[in-house]
């Protein structure tokens, strides 16, 4: 099981399967074969272990143990190959056919695309920005969970449009590319699609959770590489699901892993370096020197190329409480899994964030932080790995559904 990474010898090249070495592919295959032999032991451990505090059956704990077994034995470059991850557009097309849903695609500029899930009514919209360390494409679990969310809302009389953002992935595209595309997606909803701000919910999981927070940072403090975005009224809702708010792995929740979670400390170390330059390390020669959208920055710096490093946009935990003054969202729900490695860093961020957002919000800002007992990183999404609705959905899913209902019923 890898625990330490030699960053000098790490490949920073493209991570799609055609760029992986034979050794990397073979290692992923061996890991999958090891799972086959280990499965009986994992089943027994799940059957006879203490019942999860989430109230879910042993089958859900088995799912988490399987994910941990696989992911704790690979490096980030191998994940897409191990899990068979096609590009975002391909995945959406495949799953839309499986779920008998029509999808239309619209270009929002700068390489970003919105995939509309089902018929668009044009009044209320939920925009999901997927996670995956900024490196992995959207997964079936993202699509299945938010499809389920849309269907639940419809059953309660709420027609809500559902949009998924396709953004460029690291290490080929680096910060602030993903932030540019996320901001432009929201701008497109407001200016082209003409949604009222109060009828928009921004949701994002993991890296996507950081991106929705970064979009708000840009609204409050325009990023020099991105055109400002002004709101006429507060957004309806913001839902960061297990947001990746810090690049540090020093938190206690990393040092005492539960053996169930899907985020390994070396994932954080590597993914963060693929996204943006580490402030105390030289950049790998395999990584671009600057983002693809630096032209706007050049105009304000006399033509100089800006080499980005850590800041409040790509690492929300660096922001002070005052940074969030004027917070332009009516309802915010931060979801945290009790058994996830990012737990402590998210909770620390959430305390600072809530202080600033509530104290200096644009209008009446409500911020709720929910610690979900017995749940792992973005667990509500992984529940869809099992067929049918879970008998016990878990606090993460139920809290998200409740906020969506409260915002969209108005």
**Which residues are catalytically annotated?**
206
Rounded Cα gap, residues 259 and 341, in angstroms: 10
Q: What angle do CA 400, 402, 408 make, to 5 degrees?
A: 100
Q: Are 381 and 397 in contact (CB under 8 A)?
A: no
- The 8 Å CB, 24+ separation contacts for 377-380 are 377/206, 377/242, 377/261, 377/262, 377/263, 377/337, 377/340, 377/341, 377/342, 378/131, 378/205, 378/206, 378/241, 378/242, 378/262, 378/337, 379/54, 379/64, 379/337, 380/145, 380/241, 380/335
H helical segments located in 221-363? 252-255, 265-275, 295-300, 343-359
Number of neighbouring beta carbons within 10 Å of residue 155: 8
Would the CA dihedral through 102, 16, 75, 251 be positive or negative?
negative
């Amino acid at each position: 099981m890898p625990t330490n990474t030699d960053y000098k010898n790490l490949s920073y090249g493209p991570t799609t399967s055609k760029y992986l070495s034979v050794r990397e592919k073979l290692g992923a295959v061996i890991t999958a074969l090891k799972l086959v032999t280990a499965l009986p032991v994992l089943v027994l451990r799940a059957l006879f272990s203490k019942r999860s505090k989430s109230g879910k059956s042993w089958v859900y704990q088995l799912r988490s143990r399987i994910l941990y077994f696989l992911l704790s034995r690979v490096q980030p470059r191998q994940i897409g190959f191990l899990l068979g991850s096609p590009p975002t557009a391909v995945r959406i097309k495949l799953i839309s056919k499986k779920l008998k849903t029509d999808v239309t695609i619209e270009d929002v500029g700068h390489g970003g695309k919105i995939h509309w899930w089902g018929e668009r009514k044009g009044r209320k919209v939920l925009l999901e920005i997927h996670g995956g360390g900024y490196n992995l494409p959207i997964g079936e679990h993202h699509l299945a969970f938010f499809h389920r969310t849309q269907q639940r809302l419809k059953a309660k009389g709420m027609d809500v449009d559902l949009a998924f953002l396709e953004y460029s992935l690291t290490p080929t595209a680096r910060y602030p590319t993903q932030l540019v595309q996320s901001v432009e997606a929201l701008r497109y909803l407001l200016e082209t699609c003409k949604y009222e701000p109060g009828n928009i919910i921004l949701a994002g999981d993991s890296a996507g959770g950081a991106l929705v927070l970064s979009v708000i940072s840009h609204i409050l403090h325009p990023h020099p590489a991105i055109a400002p975005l002004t709101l006429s009224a507060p957004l309806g809702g913001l839902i960061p699901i297990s947001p990746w708010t810090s690049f540090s792995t020093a938190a206690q929740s990393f040092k005492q892993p539960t053996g169930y979670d899907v985020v390994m400390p070396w994932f954080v170390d590597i993914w963060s370096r693929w996204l943006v330059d580490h402030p105390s390390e030289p950049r790998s020669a395999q990584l671009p020197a600057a983002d693809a959208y630096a032209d706007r920055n050049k105009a304000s710096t006399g033509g100089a190329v800006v080499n980005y490093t850590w800041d409040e946009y790509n690492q929300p935990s660096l922001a002070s409480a005052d940074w969030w003054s004027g917070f332009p969202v009516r309802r915010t729900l931060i979801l945290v899994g009790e058994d996830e490695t990012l737990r402590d860093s998210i909770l620390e961020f959430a305390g600072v964030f809530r202080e600033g957002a509530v104290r200096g919000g644009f209008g009446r800002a409500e911020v709720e932080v929910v610690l979900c007992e017995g749940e792992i990183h973005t667990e509500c999404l992984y529940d869809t790995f099992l067929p049918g609705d879970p008998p016990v959905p878990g606090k993460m899913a139920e809290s998200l559904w409740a906020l969506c209902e409260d915002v969209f019923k108005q």
